Amino acid sequence: MEYDVLIIGGGIAGMESAINLGDAGYKVLLVEKEPSIGGKMILLSKVFPTLDCASCISTPKMAETAHHPNITTMTYAEVMEVRKDGNGFSARILKKPKYVNESACTGCQECERACPVNVEHDEFNFDLVGRKAVYIPFPQAIPKVAVVDIDNCILCGACERACPADAIDFTQEPEELDVNVRSVIVATGFRLFPAERKPQYGFGKFKNVINAMQMDRLLAPTRPFNTVLRPSDGKEAENIAYVLCTGSRDRTVGNPLCSQICCMYSIKQAQLILGALPLADVTLYYMDIRAYGKGYEEFFKQTRDMGVQFVKGRVAKIEELENGNLILRYEDIENGGRVQEAEHDMVVLSVGLLPTPEVASIFKGEKLELDDYYYVKQVDEDLSPARTSIEGVFVAGTAYGPKDIPDTILSAGAASAEAIAYMETTRRQK
Ligand SMILES: Cc1cc2nc3c(=O)[nH]c(=O)nc-3n(C[C@H](O)[C@H](O)[C@H](O)COP(=O)(O)OP(=O)(O)OC[C@H]3O[C@@H](n4cnc5c(N)ncnc54)[C@H](O)[C@@H]3O)c2cc1C
Ligand code: SF4
Ligand code: SF4
């Protein structure tokens, strides 16, 4: 199979690059390892500073990607190997079995309702709720096709019997495909900092300590409950604390980088909480507020004027009381650096971003270099930010460093323009 460009990763960076290239007439193969495209953005509540609904603005991009005549989208698939071949590349892709016939499935969810197996771990709700062993990843998934989690399936056949489209197919096998392309864009995004790596904050141990991605899910239009509930007892939270820079600017966990977005998404969530729970108090414990983008400083000041408390101080430790409330011990920098304690009924850890360095191992022969922080290395950061160590391979979005959505979109523009320039130059050299 021949395409012009292979894009690895179907988040907003990958989708935007694909649409740019598709609109310019190039044939694109977009490979996403999850069962749906959309990346993290489709799972968010609203976006700062405009407070536009994240799913309302990402769903059209997802639909455009999936239905574009020049874009082939492959979900639940992994790129196993990419090798330079002259000016182009050969790639091997593994398509994992969904055990569901994609063209027959209508997304009706009858299989989910029939399945007797409850799985505690729902990756798309960041484990706030469970799911079934056969499931549609989330309501706006594209493709809206069920997938069987074969590790938890007990092969009872209930989904097969319930499916009106006869789409369940346990005979599916993994499929390997070889493709040739002229250029590659790496858009593998970021990982969330695992908050367990700061054991002094009790994530995973204290039920009412959650991470910010979980809070974004609690505030999203497709939220699992219809309000912001404390996980320990299902009560509406009344006094919520945010601990900014969790796992960012922190050499003790090996991540000295500022994650660029945590200040702003915490401020955004604080505003949304005031809307969802008008009587709640919200306090942000921060080191510095980095509101660097257009309109961001105004958004920060507006949030402060709405009554959100900002306390400058590094939180050293969190302890749990018997009623599930939490005691935060922090250094109160603006009051002489004294150690203070405060009680809250829920704590949100504003976790930072980590790289996806595994992508480097896909490239055989010529090496895809990583930078000192294990993000994809930009060989010309100043003048050609999308170029990598392999000629013809470009990088977009958070795969080369933390960034918000507007900067991710810009970087996708740069990567697609560079890919076009590379393809046209090498075509002329033939
Ligand atoms: C809690 C939280 C709130 C946020 N709120 C905002 C906000 O309000 N406004 C804002 O501007 N930004 C916000 N952001 C940042 C925003 O999420 C990112 O800027 C954006 O999602 C980056 O997009 P991306 O495509 O680079 O990465 P991702 O969204 O991570 O997408 C990468 C995709 O690549 C796939 N992938 C990875 N490896 C492979 C592989 N080997 N093969 C195939 N596929 C692969 C992944 O499954 C994923 O779908 C927030 C982030 C967090 C964590
Ligand atoms: S066969 Fe598996 S996925 Fe289908 S209903 Fe039974 S347990 Fe669920
Ligand atoms: S597999 Fe069948 S029952 Fe499940 S969503 Fe698809 S069509 Fe509906």
Pick from 330, 368, 324, 366: nearest CA to 346: 324
Q: What is the dihedral of CA 149, 155, 157, 158, to 10 degrees?
A: -60
Q: What is the CA radius of gyration of the chain?
A: 23
Q: Take atom 4 of ligand 2 and give the residue whose Cα is closest.
A: 159
Say whether 386 sits in a helix, a strand or coil. coil
In the chain, domain spans: 5-96+174-190+355-429, 110-162, 193-353
Helical H segments across 24-92, by residue range: 54-67
| Predicted local distance difference test score (pLDDT) of residue 9 | 98
Ligand closest to Cα of 160 equals: 2
pLDDT confidence band for 224 (50 / 70 / 90):
confident
Fold equal for 5-96+174-190+355-429 and 193-353: yes
Say yes or no to pLDDT of 407 above 90: yes
Q: Whole-number mean pLDDT of the chain?
A: 96
CA 223 / ligand 2 centre spacing (Å): 25
CATH assignment of 193-353? Answer: 3.50.50.60
Q: Take atom 5 of ligand 2 and give the residue whose Cα is closest.
A: 115
How far apart CA 285 and CA 274 sit, in angstroms, is: 17
pLDDT per residue as tens digits for the range 317-328? 999 999 999 999
How far apart CA 155 and CA 170 sit, in angstroms, is: 9
pLDDT per residue as tens digits for the range 91-146? 999 999 999 999 999 999 999 999 999 999 999 999 999 999 999 999 999 999 99
Pick from 188, 190, 186, 189: nearest CA to 5: 186
CA 7 / ligand 2 centre spacing (Å): 33
Angle, in degrees to the nearest 10, between helices 12-23 and 405-429: 40
How far apart CA 359 and CA 361 sit, in angstroms, is: 5
Say whether 249 sits in a helix, a strand or coil. coil
Say yes or no to pLDDT of 429 above 90: no
Q: What is the dihedral of CA 361, 365, 366, 372, to 10 degrees?
A: 30
Say yes or no to pLDDT of 430 above 80: no
Of ligand 1's listed atoms, the one at least distance from the Cα of 356 is 38
Average pLDDT estimate for 207-225: 94
pLDDT per residue as tens digits for the range 269-281? 999 999 999 999 9
| Predicted local distance difference test score (pLDDT) of residue 192 | 96
**Angle subtended at Cα 142 by Cα 133 and Cα 180, rounded to the nearest 5 degrees:** 105
Indicate the pTM of the whole model. 0.96
Query: What stretch of H or E contains 92?
Result: strand 88-95
CA 342 / ligand 2 centre spacing (Å): 47
How far apart CA 168 and CA 325 sit, in angstroms, is: 46
User: Cα dist. 231→58, 299, 324 in Å?
Assistant: 28, 29, 10
pLDDT per residue as tens digits for the range 341-380? 999 999 999 999 999 999 999 999 999 999 999 999 999 9
| Predicted local distance difference test score (pLDDT) of residue 226 | 85
| Predicted local distance difference test score (pLDDT) of residue 359 | 97
Q: Which CATH class is domain 5-96+174-190+355-429?
A: alpha beta
| Predicted local distance difference test score (pLDDT) of residue 244 | 95
pLDDT confidence band for 222 (50 / 70 / 90):
confident
Of ligand 2's listed atoms, the one at least distance from the Cα of 154 is 7
Cβ neighbourhood burial of 222 (10 Å; 0-12, 13-18, 19+): middle
Residue pair 267/299 in contact (Cβ under 8 Å)? The answer is: yes
pLDDT per residue as tens digits for the range 287-298? 988 888 899 999
The DSSP bridge partners found for residue 117 are: none
Residue pair 77/94 in contact (Cβ under 8 Å)? The answer is: yes
109 lines ligand 3 (CB under 6 A): yes
Of ligand 3's listed atoms, the one at least distance from the Cα of 108 is 8
Asked whether the bond before 49 is cis by omega within 30 degrees of 0, the reply is yes
| Predicted local distance difference test score (pLDDT) of residue 337 | 87
| Predicted local distance difference test score (pLDDT) of residue 392 | 98
DSSP 11: S
The DSSP bridge partners found for residue 241 are: 283, 347
Reading the block at residue 23, the tokens are: 């609109």
190 lines ligand 1 (CB under 6 A): yes
134 lines ligand 2 (CB under 6 A): yes
pLDDT per residue as tens digits for the range 44-85? 999 999 999 999 999 999 999 999 999 999 999 999 999 999
| Predicted local distance difference test score (pLDDT) of residue 391 | 97
| Predicted local distance difference test score (pLDDT) of residue 335 | 87
Ligand closest to Cα of 148 equals: 2
pLDDT per residue as tens digits for the range 166-212? 999 999 999 999 999 999 999 999 999 999 999 999 999 999 999 99
CA 90 / ligand 2 centre spacing (Å): 37
CA 104 / ligand 3 centre spacing (Å): 8
